[in-house]
Amino acid sequence: MKNLMGIVYTTKDDLTLREMTASRAVAALPVAARYRMIDFVLSNLVNTGIKNVGVIMQKNYHSLMDHLGSGKEWDLHTRIDGLRILPPFLTRENVGEYSGNLDALRSNAGFLRRSKQDYVVFTGSHTVFNAKFDEMFEQHLATNADITVMYAKARPTDVDYSASTSASHAFANIDEEGRVMDMEVNPNVATYPNYLMDVMIIKRTLLMHLVDQAFSHGMHDMYRDLLQKYVHNGLLRVYGYEFKGYHRRIETVKNYFAFNMEVIDHSVRSELFKTNPIYTKVRDEVPAKYLPGARVVNSLVADGCEIAGTVENSVLFRGVKVAPGAVIRNSIIMQDGEIQANCELENVIFDKAVTIRSYGRLIGQRQYPIVIGKNVTL
């Protein structure tokens, strides 16, 4: 789709994800044994036919830049358009963090001006879903909308109200014609069941004008400061597009753990991956090796793993080693983890390259799993 461009806003490290985002952006968070959060939104843009994609970076973006590289895995390594990494402009006042997505867009106004496409798909990076934007764009044109936002019917598990308010939770009242009539941002209890998924389509020139006006009035947040205002005064035609597929917002340890436990279920994986391919950085590894005595039940095991112990209801990323006598239940072990002999793990999350020595034992609660940061030896 040559008349659409994409901009992905990657949020800064979020304390609600604790050690997992201490040195990486939320968009770089590993999920589902081999992917990163940003893989889903980038693949959605590419599967739509969008070839001009800008990724707005913030503090601790080195892991994300290493993952994205030249954009080759997403076929975005082209001479014209392609993947554009947009790191923050560092000054004494700006230490690599934006006050909101409007500030981020204002700082990257040059990328918007240089782009040739007429329309922008502007997305966040907290939500995992698989969809093309063709139908949403067709509806945007058919309704003559100024802005079209993607929403889904909210379920109690979709939103963790304990999350930091740095990421806006927006709910909308949508009439029979699909027009947004009212919005709530970060309510304690939502009045409306329509949850906005941090995806919008807007004309590029209109976005530039709105961002410039917002900046001149000290506004920072797209939903609270800008969209809510124009919905209330009716100066812009804002419509909603309902997404009916599988989606999960990940912004706390609790819903990160819950999502990874969900994708163990074959029916959930089928729903998430059945429609369009999800691309990620390729790491050449040998197939997983199951040694004598290994027992693996209802788990996701990535390439390069070597298992001689017991793994139940768990997600193992690439290169994990499980020694004889070790037992892992309901846990997430990220890349290059080492579980030595006769260890017992249950309801834990190990970040990359964590080693637990022989006879170690960690038992967490499913609602409050134990999280161990990168490169730790226990």
Question: Full-prediction pTM beyond 0.75?
Answer: yes
Burial 86-123 (b: 16+ CB within 10 A, else e): bebeeeeeeeeebebbbbbbbbbeebbeebebebbbbb
> Tens-digit pLDDT profile for the chain (378 aa)?
679 999 999 876 566 777 888 778 888 999 999 999 999 999 999 999 999 999 998 877 888 889 998 899 999 988 888 999 998 765 555 555 787 888 889 888 899 999 999 999 999 988 999 999 999 999 999 999 999 999 998 865 566 655 444 567 889 999 999 999 999 988 888 889 999 999 999 999 999 999 998 888 888 888 888 898 899 888 999 999 999 999 999 888 998 999 999 999 999 999 999 889 999 998 878 999 999 999 999 999 999 999 999 999 999 999 999 999 999 999 999 999 999 999 999 999 999 999 999 999 999 998 889 999 999 999
The pLDDT, as a whole number, for residue 165 is 44
